[in-house]
Amino acid sequence: MGVQEAFSQKLVSKLPLVTIVGRPNVGKSSIFNRLARRRISIVDPTSGVTRDRVSTELRYDGKAFGLVDTGGIGIQDVEEIAHLVEAQIEKAIEEASLLVFVVDAREGLVPLDSAVSEKLRHVHKPVLLVANKIDDPSLEYLKADFFSLGFGEALSFSALSGLGRTALLEEITALLPETAETPREPFMRLAVMGRRNVGKSTLINTLAREERMIVSEIPGTTRDSVDVRFELKGKSFVAIDTAGVRKRKQTEGSVEFYGLARAMKSVRRADVVLFLLDAAQEVSQVDKKLGAYIAEQFKPCIIVINKWDLAKGVVTEEFSGYVRSKLPGLAYAPLSFISAKRGDNVLATVELAEELFQQANTRVSTSELNKILQEAQARRPAMRAGGREGRVYFGTQVSVAPPTFVFFVNYPNLFDANYERFLANRFRDHFPFSEVPIKFFFRMRKRVKGVKG
C-alpha cells in the first residue's frame, strides 16, 4: 500500500468547520483561544504571527464542530511567504461551513476590512461579523461603522474578558448544518520535533496528504504547535507540528519564545515523538539538547533521519553509529530513514510508532518481574558502602506510558544511575518494551522490629 492510499485526507473528522478570518492583527487568534478556552494559537502584537491553519474540535449545545484559525488576509509583513499564507486562508475558506469575520472595533473600519468583505461575498457561505475589543458595554456604539460591510449588525466580543463568548457560540451552532458525525478519539498523538528547517512540515503534509502546513525554505516558518488529524487503517491519529528549535540565545522576540515553549509542551502531551534529523547535517548542540529533553520526559521516540534520499554514498550502519554516539540518552530509541518529501518509509515509521505506543503501555506480571530482578541481582549486586550492600527485596509495576516500577530496598542511596541503566537493559532484554524509556523508583522497605535487613 502506498502512502497516498494509506492516509486519509480528513483533518478534523467529517465535522462542519468554522473558520475565523479577517485582516492581520484584529484578534483572530485571541478569539480562537477564547472559544477553545485554552491557549492554542500564539497571540502577539506582531502582525502576521499566525501563518498555518490552526484547528481544534469544539462541542457546544450538543453540536460538535471544527474551529480553524487563519493568517491575516492581506498580510505584508512576511512577503517571502505571503502567497503561501494566502493559499492556506483560501483552503480554509473553501472547506468551511461557516465563516467568522473579525474586525477591530477600537481601530474602526479600514480599507482592508472592506477588501476582506468583498472577498467573502463571493464565497456564498454564511458569515458572522464579529467586532472584537468591545471590552465594555459602553463601547457598543463602535460597531456602527461596520454596517456598511453588508453582513448585518456585528456581534460584540471581547477576547480579553470573554464577553460575548456564549452569544457567538449560540449563533455558530444555530447556523451549522446538522451532522450525526462525532469526533473519533485519536488512537495516538505524534509530536514531530526537530530543529529549524529539518522537514517537519513536509512530513505533516505527507501524513495529511495535502498542503496542510506552509512548507518553505525560510527557517522558522512554523511558529505555532499545530494539531493535524489523519487516519490510517481505520485509526485516527493526531500529528503535532511544532516550531523549529534553535539555541535560546538566538531566539528572537516573544513569538519565537512562545513557539519554543509550545514545542516543549507538545513533547509532554505526545504519546510518541518523531525526532527529525537532517541526513545532510551534523548532529548539533540543539539536537543534543532536544534529545535530552525528550529523554527527561520519558517519551517513546523514533529518531527519524529525513532527506535520506539526498544522502549519497553514506552507509546506513555508519550513520546510525554516528547518531548513537551523539545522542546517548536515546540509546533505546529506534532509527528510521525517510524522505518526507517523496514519502519513502513514512508509512513504516508510523507503524513503528504504533509498536512503541503498545510497548509503552505494556504491563508485566509481578512474579515474572521479580524473577528477572533476582537474576539481575545475582549477576551484578548493587553498590557497597560502609560495609553495607544494596539489596532489592521485591518490585512491582505501578504504571504504564512509560512502564514505571517501584523497588523496595534496604538502602535507596546505594542504587545509582549506573545500576538503574543495568536494570533497564536487563528488563529490555526480557520484557516487550525494548525500545521505550523505563522509569524506576527505589523505596526503603519498612523494617520489621527484630528482623535484620
Give the pLDDT mean for 356-375.
94
Q: How far apart are CA 181 and CA 317, in angstroms?
A: 47
Q: Write down the pLDDT at residue 445.
A: 82
Domain spans of the chain? 17-175, 188-360, 366-444
CATH tag, 188-360: 3.40.50.300
More confident residue, 388 or 436: 436
Q: Strands 384-385 and 335-337, how do they pair?
A: unpaired
Give the pLDDT mean for 433-446.
92
Give the pLDDT mean for 340-347.
91
* Domain 366-444: top CATH class: alpha beta
* Domain 17-175: top CATH class: alpha beta
State the DSSP string of 307-375.
Answer: -GGG-TT--HHHHHHHHHHH-GGGTTS-EEE-BTTTTBTHHHHHHHHHHHHHHHT----HHHHHHHHHH
Q: Are 49 and 20 in contact (CB under 8 A)?
A: no
Give the pLDDT mean for 122-150.
91
pTM: 0.63
Q: Write down the pLDDT at residue 245.
A: 54
Looking at every residue in the chain, the average pLDDT score rounds to 81
Q: Write down the pLDDT at residue 303.
A: 97
* Domains 17-175 and 188-360 fall in the same CATH topology: yes
Give the pLDDT mean for 276-302.
92
Q: How far apart are CA 317 and CA 169, in angstroms?
A: 56
Q: How far apart are CA 344 and CA 171, in angstroms?
A: 45
The pLDDT tens digits of the residues spanning 179-199 come to 645 555 667 899 998 888 888
Q: What are the CA-CA distances from residue 410 to residues 378, 405, 415, 419 (Å)?
A: 16, 16, 10, 15
Q: Tell me: pLDDT of 9 over 50.
A: no
Q: Write down the pLDDT at residue 275.
A: 95
